[in-house]
Amino acid sequence: MKTRHFAQLIALSALWGASFLFLRIASPLLGPMVLAGGRVALATLTLALIMRALNHRWPWQHWRELLLLGALSVVAPFVLYAWAALHLPAGYSALLNTTAVLFGTLASAWFKEDTLNARKLLGCLCGFAGVALIVQLGPVRPDAATLAAAAACVAAAACYGISTPLMKRATTRMQPLAIAAGIHLASLVLLLPGAAWGVPRAHFTPTTLAVLLVLGVVTSGLAYWAHLRIIRHVSPVAAMSPAFLIPVFGVSWGHMVLGETLSPGIFAGGALVLLATALVTGFNPLRRAVGESPFP
């Protein structure tokens, strides 16, 4: 993996870190199904226009595989996180999202798309510890809704983790743009009935429409395409490393946009998260000092 892929993963972390803030804003007004459906519709339109501009062909012959990938990597996570945003602060969702790395590490080893070793497991532990320090969350009432929302976040993270090695396999048969467009089109078919049912109760405001536009075009359509391009060149576990960095950016966005206070733990936690990312991806900047590639 090249250094530019590492930089691209960090950029994706910044985008996806902001998405939890956007979900918290839009989900109460639009409802989870309308939010997820609108987000996927905009992503599909964006990717379809790019497909047409670049004269790419749709991978219709792989529709079953794309339907499975869409259900795992788009439909389930989008709906679950949007529903969880009704009951949990954005920081909790971002924190629980880091479990995707653990699920993905185990799934990648199971599907023989990656190897499981002590360094990667240590990276997972460092990442969880770092995120816990960064997200200095206040206590929440442990009622049924809160526990259900936390379970929804973990289930969504599990879907992301399991789907990543499957998408790695898909990149050997299809172009990243075709996969991104195909899974969003398949997801739109699955989400459309529920989204249509929820439209009469949705409250469309200028703010929610702006948030929906960013979520659909940028954090879904363009970001998924970029992520699939990276997956072609790195291991599935390395491709999931943004999950550790997402809470870092989530807290930073909250500070810059909402004026939230930065806790002292963000500095120690940030160092642990960077260490975790290096361990999981195998990135070692010291190698560049002696003229070697910074990746194994």
pLDDT tens sequence across 149-176? 888 988 998 898 889 889 988 998 999 9
What pLDDT, on a 0 to 100 scale, did the predictor assign at position 125? 80
What pLDDT, on a 0 to 100 scale, did the predictor assign at position 293? 37
pLDDT tens sequence across 177-212? 999 999 999 999 999 999 999 999 999 999 999 999
CA distance 195 to 153: 20
Residue tagged 């924190």 (tokens): 95
CB 208 within 8 A of CB 26: yes
- Which whole number is the average pLDDT over 4-29? 81
% of the chain exceeding 90 in pLDDT? 40
Confidence of residue 115 (pLDDT cuts 50, 70, 90): confident
What pLDDT, on a 0 to 100 scale, did the predictor assign at position 181? 97
Q: How far is CA 246 from CA 50, 122, 276, in A?
A: 27, 19, 13
Could you tell me which residue, 269 or 226, shows the higher pLDDT?
Answer: 226
What pLDDT, on a 0 to 100 scale, did the predictor assign at position 288? 43
Could you tell me which residue, 7 or 51, shows the higher pLDDT?
Answer: 51
What pLDDT, on a 0 to 100 scale, did the predictor assign at position 246? 75
pLDDT tens sequence across 40-97? 999 999 999 999 999 999 999 999 999 999 999 999 999 999 999 898 777 777 777 8
- Which whole number is the average pLDDT over 222-248? 78
Residue tagged 């379809």 (tokens): 48
pTM (predicted TM-score): 0.81
CA distance 140 to 92: 10
Residue tagged 């939010």 (tokens): 35
